[in-house]
């Protein structure tokens, strides 16, 4: 584990840059995370995805099914990969401050 | 190449430097992939901080994130702990479950190197000494012979027990235990009945069960999370309910059929358990199962109970205790639901784990009937229980054989019979069936990607699979022709997804991947929209 | 000297028999293992409700084992060049073992003259096959990098010793006994009938040397991998489709094994309890990971 400064706050991150203290997440943190994920500057679609992931996570403590993300945001998978080159699980979830996805996903 | 290959003698030496450094020109060539002839290293170097924190002296890769010991005291303690664990592996109490095979493997290797040629990783890596299947076994064998057997140190060199046991040896072994996918092609090749894949398994067990060393993805975020939350993905019963509702919507939209997916139905003929990762990453697979089972009129159900919607059991890969704990809980769910049998969806390790590996751990009413879904799918398709039109699958399809289901369970024909029935342009890859190559994601690799390990698994472990896939579609290279690699296993799918993306095969060759049930659903005659979306 | 030879001759046979029995008993008594097989073709798991189907027949298993053992089929498939010499060696040794058994059997029969022709051809033929095999293996093990790399120095000594043993036997029969099978049989008869102590205690040097080397091999056998090798069939490493059925003998053994103590020290185990209790329980709080 390592500490780093994101959005002006010191946050613990894991070896792959997922933040370990989800309560410290905010817009500025997200933008700094997005820089490392080649998803900066963040446009409306970035935020749409990030906000949806966050909301789902707050409710169910996991990231939603990829299909659900695509359907509910109306942004197809190809575009998601363009917005977040590392894909929905490793890219978008990281920016949204979710923990690293676990299990066979 | 003039560089001297590292031998076993070097294994415990020079702990500060990497035993091998793999460069692009070492690797087995992939002539069909553009940009493969670059000079840059295939595997990213660890950062200086990571290098200072984690052991990486094997090949510069850290899969396990073994912390570097603080001082000599700690090293000594770890060496002692390792030897304790090794003794336990050879004990009739602590390792009754694998003792026979382990002794067979330790006793019977005659160093004929047949296994080396069988190993996808060894061959793809450009024959790096340390990746030989028997290299790992030989290190263990020498340690056992020299340090655990009476008089082992006498004439150790003459008897071929030339090894030094120190922390460097152990740290490298811990990493080396995660450079093998346990596909056990080497074991099937071995004329002597030695099983180097088993050595990998036993080593991982030693590190986890005795020393508490295991990759985070498999242990902390894997089986521990599974036991705590109910699924290694973290899906809770509440989230599961939400996902099923979404799945029903999806099905209606695609097929025009309004299906109520049976959940927690008591006394059903079949309790179907999927790898819970399917719901998150490939929901079309469980959806296809639902559509097919409903159309065939089966009496089936899913479970939303804790442990009841997760087929995975990561213990299969590294820990017998965790394996037993999870398996018992899965059976418990089926018993409570009063189902007649458990059917496991398209997931290799889960099928082998629950059907075969658990067989001799379960007694009394815990010995619950369990089987793979593939024979059932074969029965539905080949006896025309649902109406299918193969013309709907008029695209090139090839089949990847998941090691756990095919070589390690002997389920070879059902998936082929289905594809011959419903995919007019089905072609085998070479080699296939029990001679198949692992996708490179086996034994948990598909879900392991910390630090620079994903570079290793994509450039080395999955290399041969990429070549096989390209060769299978040699006659239709045009990227506008959609092609489908059918992989009836979640783990293989995750690896294929990452391989296709890494080598850009979807764009340059039009290659996609997916499960088997999706192809069946796609061939159903009365769907509103095609089931497979490219 | 003579006493030593006689002692070695009978002693090594006794040692080999007792040693092997102890080893084999050990193998058989190893606890039942989990199913961990691999397949060369379709299995019973291709059937719906596979537990109601009959597993692969005993006959098929025995045939597979015999073909493997007699022809070394797997080597032929994987490395034909090495197989060629390995096979010559094994064929020669198999024939020599049979020849020695025949020697003992024929020596007590009344008419040794009738065996003159084929007895000699059999013995010499087998020796030559084994010699070519040994030499070929030795050369390949020296010249081929793959075969040389992890081969212990001791094994080279073993092959040289094998050459000497074979040559010694050849010399004893061909030179010392003048290629006369009846003479060999007469000598063997003296050994097995415990008669003619004079010859026993003053053995001809050629046979003494051969007996000596033979004894070394007999003493080695219980410690070698050869005994273990046959147990892979018994251990069900390939097809092991016999399921654990409720009330069956496997279940009985499993129940016993589940009662064995677990002493693994990993933080998530540390139970000190039986396997049954350990698996039923959950990891200790202390051992819990913090991921989530």
DSSP for A36-75 reads HTT--S--HHHHHHHHHHHHHHHHHSSPPPHHHHHHHHT-
> Which residues of B are less than 8 Å from A76 in CB distance?
none
What is the arrangement of strands in the sheet containing B341-344, beginning at the earlier edge strand? B300-301, B270-273, B341-344, B370-372
Q: Which residues pair with B26 in a beta bridge?
A: none
Distances (CA, A) of B43 to A89, B251, B452, C72: 22, 42, 7, 41
> Which residues of B are less than 8 Å from C72 in CB distance?
191
Q: In chain A, which residue's Cα lies nearest the Cα of B217?
A: A102
Do B353 and B313 form a contact (C-beta atoms < 8 A)?
A: yes
Cβ atoms within 10 Å of A6's Cβ, excluding its own: 23
Q: What mean pLDDT is reported for chain C?
A: 86
Residue of B222, B350, B356, B401 to mutate for C, most C C-beta atoms under 10 A:
B356
> Which residues of C are less than 8 Å from B209 in CB distance?
264-266, 269
Cβ-defined contact of B228 to C288 (cutoff 8 Å) = yes
Cβ-defined contact of A103 to B347 (cutoff 8 Å) = no
What is the arrangement of strands in the sheet containing B397-399, beginning at the earlier edge strand? B426-427, B397-399, B483-486, B511-514
Distance from CA of A27 to the nearest CA of B (A): 25
Q: How many residues does chain C have?
A: 292
DSSP B123: H
Which pairing describes strands B370-372 and B300-301: parallel, antiparallel, or unpaired?
Answer: unpaired
Give, in degrees to the nearest 5, the angle at Cα C244 between C239 and C245: 130
Residue of B54, B234, B252, B444 to mutate for A, most A C-beta atoms under 10 A:
B234
Do C213 and C161 form a contact (C-beta atoms < 8 A)?
A: yes
Q: Which residues pair with B271 in a beta bridge?
A: B301, B342
Q: What are phi and psi of B315, to 5 degrees?
A: -55, -30
Question: Count of alpha carbons within 13 Å of C100, Cβ hemisphere only?
Answer: 14
Q: Which of B109, B157, B175 is nearest to B137 (CA)?
A: B109
Cβ-defined contact of A65 to B246 (cutoff 8 Å) = yes
List active site positions of A: 104
Q: In chain A, which residue's Cα lies nearest the Cα of C292?
A: A99
Distances (CA, A) of C106 to B144, C91, C96, C171: 46, 22, 15, 21
| Longest alpha-carbon distance in chain B | 76
- CATH 1.20.950.20 in chain C is located at 2-234
DSSP A5: E
Distances (CA, A) of B233 to A59, B103, B322, C106: 15, 36, 16, 73
Residue of B113, B122, B270 to mutate for C, most C C-beta atoms under 10 A:
B113
Task: Write out the H or E segment, with its range, that includes residue B115.
Answer: helix B114-118
Which pairing describes strands B341-344 and B397-399: parallel, antiparallel, or unpaired?
Answer: unpaired
Token representation of residue B392: 């709907």
> Which residues of C are less than 8 Å from B100 in CB distance?
27, 30-31, 33, 231, 235
Q: What are phi and psi of C54, to 5 degrees?
A: -75, 135
Cβ atoms within 10 Å of A76's Cβ, excluding its own: 12
Q: In chain A, which residue's Cα lies nearest the Cα of B445?
A: A104
Distance from CA of A62 to the nearest CA of C (A): 10
ipTM associated with this complex = 0.94
Task: Write out the H or E segment, with its range, that includes residue B24.
Answer: none
Cβ-defined contact of B371 to C48 (cutoff 8 Å) = yes
B276 touches chain A (CB under 8 A): yes
Q: What are phi and psi of B418, to 5 degrees?
A: -65, -50
CA C78 to chain centre: 21
Give the B:C interface size as CB pairs under 8 Å: 255
Q: In chain A, which residue's Cα lies nearest the Cα of B350?
A: A104
User: Which is it for the CA torsion A6, A12, A17, A21, positive or negative?
Assistant: negative
B/e letters for A25-49, b = 16+ CB within 10 Å, e = fewer, are beeebbbbbbebbebeebeeebebb
Q: What residues have CB less than 8 Å from B517, skipping those under 6 apart?
A: B285, B288, B289, B292, B345, B346, B377
Distance from CA of A43 to the nearest CA of C (A): 30
In a 3-state reduction of DSSP, which class is residue C126?
helix
Distance from CA of B179 to the nearest CA of C (A): 20
Q: Which residues pair with B371 in a beta bridge?
A: B343
Chains touching B, CB cut-off 8 Å, 3+ pairs: A, C
Token representation of residue B106: 């330790």
Mean pLDDT for the stretch of residues C58-87: 89
pLDDT (0 to 100) of residue C287 = 42
pLDDT (0 to 100) of residue C288 = 43
B382 touches chain C (CB under 8 A): no
Token representation of residue A101: 């996805």
Q: Residue C270, class by beta-carbon neighbours within 10 Å (0-12 exposed, 13-18 middle, 19+ buried)?
A: middle
Domains of chain A in sequence order: 2-95 (1.10.10.370)
Q: In chain B, which residue's Cα lies nearest the Cα of A15?
A: B451
Walk along chain B (534 residues) in steps of 10 and give the mean pLDDT of each run.
72 92 93 78 94 96 96 97 98 95 93 96 97 97 96 91 95 98 96 94 98 97 96 95 97 94 98 98 98 97 97 98 97 97 98 96 94 98 96 98 97 98 98 98 95 96 98 96 98 97 94 98 94 92
Residue C290 clears pLDDT 60, i.e. is over it: no
Distance from CA of C292 to the nearest CA of A (A): 8
Over the stretch C268-289, which tens digit does the pLDDT of each residue have? 998 789 999 999 998 875 444 4
Do B465 and B491 form a contact (C-beta atoms < 8 A)?
A: no
Do B395 and B476 form a contact (C-beta atoms < 8 A)?
A: no
Distance from CA of B134 to the nearest CA of C (A): 9
Chains touching C, CB cut-off 8 Å, 3+ pairs: A, B
Distance from CA of B257 to the nearest CA of A (A): 19
The position carrying tokens 């096989």 is B468
Over the stretch C203-234, which tens digit does the pLDDT of each residue have? 678 888 888 899 999 999 998 888 888 777 76
Q: Which of B234, B63, B212 is nearest to A15 (CA)?
A: B63
Over the stretch B420-458, which tens digit does the pLDDT of each residue have? 999 999 999 999 999 999 999 999 999 999 899 999 999
Residues 233-292 of C with CB under 8 A from A: 291-292
In a 3-state reduction of DSSP, which class is residue C69?
helix
- Of residues C27, C155, C263, nearest to B88 (C-beta): C263
Which pairing describes strands B270-273 and B300-301: parallel, antiparallel, or unpaired?
Answer: parallel
Task: Write out the H or E segment, with its range, that includes residue B513.
Answer: strand B511-514
Distances (CA, A) of A51 to A21, A26, A69: 17, 11, 11
> Which residues of A are less than 8 Å from B513 in CB distance?
none
Task: Write out the H or E segment, with its range, that includes residue B89.
Answer: helix B72-89
Q: What are phi and psi of B344, to 5 degrees?
A: -100, 130
Q: Could you give the angle at which helices B463-472 and B490-502 cross, rounded to 10 degrees?
A: 80
Distance, in Å, from the CA atom of C106 to the CA atom of C189, rounded to the nearest integer, reads: 9
Cβ-defined contact of B112 to C147 (cutoff 8 Å) = yes
- Of residues A15, A64, A104, nearest to B277 (C-beta): A104
Q: Residue A7, class by beta-carbon neighbours within 10 Å (0-12 exposed, 13-18 middle, 19+ buried)?
A: middle
Q: DSSP letter string over B328-344?
A: HHHHHHHHHHT-SEEEE
Please check whether the domain covering C2-234 is classified as CATH 3.40.1360.10. Answer: no
Q: In chain C, which residue's Cα lies nearest the Cα of B107?
A: C225
Residue C88 clears pLDDT 60, i.e. is over it: yes
pTM: 0.95
pLDDT (0 to 100) of residue B199 = 98
> Which residues of A are less than 8 Å from C291 in CB distance?
99, 102
Cβ-defined contact of C38 to B362 (cutoff 8 Å) = no
Q: Which residues pair with A19 in a beta bridge?
A: A13
Distance, in Å, from the CA atom of B367 to the CA atom of B359, rounded to the nearest integer, reads: 7
Distances (CA, A) of A13 to A10, B54, B232: 10, 16, 21
B/e letters for B264-292, b = 16+ CB within 10 Å, e = fewer, are bbeebebbbbbbbbbbbbbbbbbbbbbbb
- Of residues B221, B238, B347, nearest to A102 (C-beta): B221
């Amino acid at each position: 584990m390592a500490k780093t400064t994101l959005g002006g706050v010191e946050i613990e991150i894991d070896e792959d840059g997922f933040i370990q203290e989800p309560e410290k997440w905010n817009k500025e943190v997200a933008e700094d995370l997005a820089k490392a994920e080649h998803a900066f500057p963040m446009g409306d679609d970035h935020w749409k995805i990030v906000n949806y992931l966050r909301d789902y996570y707050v409710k169910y403590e996991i990231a939603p099914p990829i299909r659900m993300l695509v359907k509910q945001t109306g942004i197809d998978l190809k575009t998601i990969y363009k917005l977040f080159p590392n894909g929905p699980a490793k890219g978008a979830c990281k920016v949204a401050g979710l923990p690293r996805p676990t299990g066979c996903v | 190449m003039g560089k001297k290959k590292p031998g076993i003698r070097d294994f415990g030496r020079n702990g500060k430097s990497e035993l091998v450094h793999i460069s692009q020109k070492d690797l087995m060539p992939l002539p069909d992939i553009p940009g493969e002839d670059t000079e840059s290293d295939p595997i990213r170097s660890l950062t200086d901080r990571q290098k200072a924190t984690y052991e990486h002296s094997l090949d510069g890769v850290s899969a396990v994130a073994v912390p570097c010991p603080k001082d000599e005291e700690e090293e000594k303690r770890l060496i002692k702990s390792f030897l304790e664990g090794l003794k336990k592996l050879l004990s009739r109490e602590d390792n009754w479950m694998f003792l026979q095979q382990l002794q067979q493997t330790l006793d019977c290797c005659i160093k004929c190197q047949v296994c080396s040629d069988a190993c996808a990783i060894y061959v793809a890596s450009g024959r790096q000494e340390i990746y030989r299947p028997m290299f790992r076994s030989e290190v263990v064998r020498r340690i056992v012979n020299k340090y655990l057997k009476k008089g082992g140190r006498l004439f150790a060199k003459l008897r071929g027990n030339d090894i030094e046991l120190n922390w460097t040896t152990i740290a490298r072994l811990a990493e080396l235990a995660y450079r093998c996918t346990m596909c056990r092609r080497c074991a099937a090749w071995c004329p002597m009945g030695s099983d180097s894949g088993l050595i990998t398994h036993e080593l991982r067990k030693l590190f986890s069960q005795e020393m508490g060393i295991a990759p985070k993805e498999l242990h902390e975020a894997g089986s521990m999370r599974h036991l705590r939350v109910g699924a290694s993905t973290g899906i809770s019963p509440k989230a599961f309910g939400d996902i099923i509702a979404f799945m029903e919507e999806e099905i209606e939209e695609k097929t025009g059929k309004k299906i109520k997916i049976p959940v927690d139905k008591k006394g059903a003929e079949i309790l179907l358990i999927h790898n819970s990762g399917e719901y998150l990453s490939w929901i079309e697979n469980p959806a296809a199962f639902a559509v097919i089972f409903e159309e065939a009129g089966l009496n089936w159900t899913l479970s939303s109970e804790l442990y009841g919607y997760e087929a995975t059991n990561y213990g299969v890969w590294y820990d017998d205790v965790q394996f037993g704990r999870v398996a018992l809980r899965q059976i418990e769910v089926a018993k409570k639901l009063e189902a007649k049998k458990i059917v496991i969806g398209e997931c290799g390790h889960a099928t082998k784990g629950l059907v075969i590996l658990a067989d001799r751990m379960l007694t009394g009413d815990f010995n619950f009937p369990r089987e793979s879904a593939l024979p059932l799918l074969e029965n539905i398709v080949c006896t025309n229980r649902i109406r299918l039109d193969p013309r709907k699958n008029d695209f090139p399809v090839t089949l990847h054989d998941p090691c756990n289901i095919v070589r390690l369970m002997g389920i070879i024909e059902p998936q082929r019979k289905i594809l011959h029935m419903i995919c007019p342009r089905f072609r085998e890859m070479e080699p296939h069936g029990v001679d198949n190559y692992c996708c490179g994601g086996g034994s948990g690799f598909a879900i392991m990607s910390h630090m620079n390990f994903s570079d290793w698994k994509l450039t080395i472990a999955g290399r041969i699979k990429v070549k096989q896939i390209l060769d299978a579609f040699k006659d239709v290279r045009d990227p506008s022709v959609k092609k489908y690699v059918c992989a009836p296993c979640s783990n293989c799918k995750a690896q294929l997804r990452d391989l296709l993306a890494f080598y850009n095969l979807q764009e340059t060759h039009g290659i996609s991947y997916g499960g088997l049930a999706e192809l069946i659903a796609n061939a159903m005659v009365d769907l509103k929209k095609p089931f497979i979306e490219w | 000297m003579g006493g030593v030879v006689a002692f070695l001759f009978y002693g090594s046979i006794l040692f080999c028999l007792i040693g092997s029995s102890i080893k084999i008993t050990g193998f058989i008594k190893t606890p039942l293992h989990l199913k961990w097989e691999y397949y060369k073709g379709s299995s019973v798991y291709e059937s719906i409700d596979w537990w109601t189907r009959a597993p692969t027949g005993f006959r098929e298993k025995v045939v597979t084992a015999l073909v493997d053992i007699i022809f070394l089929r797997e080597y032929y498939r994987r490395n034909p060049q090495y197989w060629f010499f390995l096979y010559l060696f094994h064929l020669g040794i198999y024939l020599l073992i049979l020849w020695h058994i025949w020697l003992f059997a024929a020596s007590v029969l009344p008419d040794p003259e009738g065996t003159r022709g084929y007895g000699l051809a059999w013995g010499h033929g087998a020796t030559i096959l084994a010699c070519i095999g040994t030499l070929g293996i030795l050369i390949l093990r020296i010249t081929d990098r793959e075969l040389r790399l992890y081969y212990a120095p001791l094994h080279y000594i073993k092959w040289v010793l094998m050459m000497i043993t074979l040559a010694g036997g050849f010399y004893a029969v061909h030179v010392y006994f003048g290629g006369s099978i009846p003479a060999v049989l007469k000598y063997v008869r003296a050994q097995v009938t415990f008669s003619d102590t004079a010859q026993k205690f003053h053995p001809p040097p050629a046979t003494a040397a051969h007996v000596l080397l033979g004894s070394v091999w007999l003493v080695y056998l219980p410690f070698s991998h050869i005994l273990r090798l046959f147990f892979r069939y018994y251990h069900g490493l390939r097809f092991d489709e016999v399921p654990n059925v409720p009330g069956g003998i496997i279940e009985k053994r499993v129940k016993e094994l589940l009662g064995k103590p677990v002493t693994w020290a990993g933080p998530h185990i540390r139970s000190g309890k039986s396997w049954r209790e350990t698996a039923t329980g959950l990891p200790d709080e202390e051992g819990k990971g913090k991921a989530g």
